[in-house]
Amino acid sequence: MDVQFDSESYWNRSSRAAFSFDDEDEVDIVSTELPSNKWENNGIFSDDTISEASFENSPALNHLSIKAILSEEALKLVLQEQNLDERVIHKGVSPDEELKLLRRQIQSTLYSPDLDATAQKLLQGKTAPLEMFRSLHEKQQLLDTLLSNGGGHAVVTVLLFLKRTLNAAQFHAILKQRPKALEQYLSYLRESGDVSSHIDLLQRFGRHQEAALKQFQAALASEDAPSRKQHLQRLVDAYANAGVGIIPLYEQVFHAALKMQLLMEREGTAGKQLGDQPTPIELLYVCCQQNNNWKEQDMLKPIAPQRFAADQQISPAQYEWTALNERAQAQAYADLECIFERVPTWHPLKSKQFHISFDLTLAVVRLYELHAPSTVLQLFLSKMGNSGEKLALAQKVKCIKAVIDAMAGLKQQQELKQLRETLPERSEEQFYCENALKSLQSKRWTTDNIKLKL
């Protein structure tokens, strides 16, 4: 027997409490407001303690039409919500399973959301229907509840739901008001590899320094050289005209990277000796290899080591260290002194002087590791002003002449005599030591003479 009732007014009646159709959440759906004689002949609602398990064994259910439960309008509403939720009822599903799915759709569509229960499920890593959170206020409440409890992946899940169901202005306003949510969403975009969205969001919230670095990283990550050059050119042009105020250092780095890319394309030096994406220091090393005039470098050539270092904003210390390593490994020791010669800025007409931009001790130790001859080690040790430090370092790198120089500087005549006895007879080092002793004795005699006259 068909049962007729006003389904629309029943479902929208304010006195109806939310209910669940799941087996474990059975509730009484019969209200005292409805005359019981309307339902006494209907097998579905005649027992308010009945479970879905008993439906499966009910002979009447096998012949029950869905229209006996839902009106045309209610069914249409459920189907619309099903499309929004993207939960498609697959072909071949039994009528019983379809009925259960539709009941759950009604629950999530027509009833107020349970904020605490939904948040708890999400925090536990379980799935929960979110479409019941319809108003902006309800969505914000759910997000705030998760944020106050740590959130994690649950916050990202809700943010993705908000992005899908809100317009861009509302979504960005929510992120602006909740910095913690913004950081978690940016982290999600970064981990998911959505570089474009990540950069757009950083720029939208005025974080131009971070956006610029992200764009630079993306440009350098391009697979081939032409694409890399194209992206770098766009980056340089964009920030040259944008007026967003990135720090000057970033602009210098962008221009330097573009120059290096153009140099590699024009000269073809890196393609033969290095990989597809060499660092500036690696390319500087190649420039040092190809340079054949260290006394007077041609600064008009982009591959001249000094010119390349200036274009790439490579510090003097990095330039000198790279050049020292390359020349020492090439055993071109005559060029080493030229690397460390500078004309004093305070006196341009004065001759060049030795100048090193990093610790001289590091240079001596590195030359020793690269098996530089003792004459080269002595040259660098002679630039040390502290005789005590010079003596300790000379002994460490086994440079006998530098040891003798340091002892002479410390006026250690007795130590020099002891050292002379350990040196090979009539060797160059022994003669050098004897001359140092004679020099000390001569200076002492001269000093004593002066004292006597006074």
The Cα 214–Cα 170 span in angstroms is: 26
> Residues with Cβ < 8 Å from 270, sequence gap 6 or more?
264, 278, 282, 283, 286
* Sequence-separated (6 or more) residues with CB below 8 Å from residue 64: 44
The length of the chain in residues reads 454
Q: Phi/psi class of residue 151: alpha, beta or left (left: φ > 0; alpha: ψ in -120 to 50)?
A: left
Quote the Cα angle for 239-244-245, to 5°. Answer: 90
Task: Note whether 274 and 286 are within 8 A (CB).
Answer: yes
Amino acid at 209: Q
If we measure between CA atoms, which residue out of 107, 65, 69 comes closest to residue 85? 107
pLDDT digits (tens, 9 = 90+) for 396-424: 999 999 999 999 999 999 999 999 999 99
CA distance 232 to 226: 10
pLDDT > 50? residue 27? no
Structure tokens belonging to residue 262: 């153009």
The count of other CB atoms within 10 Å of the CB of residue 381 is: 26
Domain boundaries, the chain: 7-82, 107-206, 387-454
Q: In the structure encoding, which two tokens stand for residue 326, read together?
A: 């390359």
Written as one letter, the residue type at 145 is T
Q: Which DSSP helix (H) or strand (E) runs through 317? A: helix 316-329
What pLDDT, in 10s, does the model give residues 185-242?
Answer: 999 998 888 888 998 999 888 888 888 888 888 888 877 778 888 888 888 877 776 5
Tell me what pLDDT residue 45 has: 43
Q: What number of CA atoms fall less than 13 Å from residue 54's CA on the CB side?
A: 10
* pLDDT number for residue 360: 94
Q: pLDDT tens digits for 57-113?
A: 555 545 556 666 667 766 665 555 454 444 556 677 788 888 877 776 666 555 566
pLDDT score at 63:
54
Beta bridge partners of 341: 354
Which two structure tokens, joined as six digits, stand for 115?
């904020």
**CA trace torsion 436, 442, 448, 450 (10° rounding):** -120
Percent of the chain with pLDDT over 70: 69
Half-sphere exposure of 228 (CA within 13 A, CB side): 19
Each residue's pLDDT tens digit, 296-339: 888 888 889 999 999 888 999 999 999 999 999 999 999 998 99
Amino acid at 94: S
Residue 32 or 116, more confident: 116
The burial of 384, by beta-carbon neighbours within 10 Å (0-12 exposed, 13-18 middle, 19 or more buried), is given as buried
pTM of the model: 0.55
Look at 264 and 390; give whichever has higher pLDDT: 390
pLDDT of 344? 60
Q: How many CB atoms lie within 10 A of CB 27?
A: 10
Cα 358 to Cα 421: distance, rounded to the nearest angstrom: 37
Q: 365, exposed or middle or buried, with CB in 10 Å at 0-12, 13-18, 19+?
A: middle
The whole-angstrom separation of Cα 66 and Cα 96 is 10
d(CA 325, CA 362): 12
SS3 letters for 88-130?
CCCCCCCHHHHHHHHHHHHHHHHCCCCHHHHHHHHHCCCCCCC
- Cβ neighbours for 141, distance < 8 A, ≥ 6 positions apart: 115
DSSP secondary-structure letter at 35? Answer: -
Say what the pLDDT of residue 347 is: 56
Greater confidence, 150 or 355? 355
- What angle separates helix 136-148 from helix 153-165, to the nearest 10 degrees? 170
Residue 342 φ then ψ, to 5°? -135, 145
Helices (H), 23-86: 52-56, 72-85
Q: What radius of gyration, in Å, describes the C-alpha atoms of the chain?
A: 42
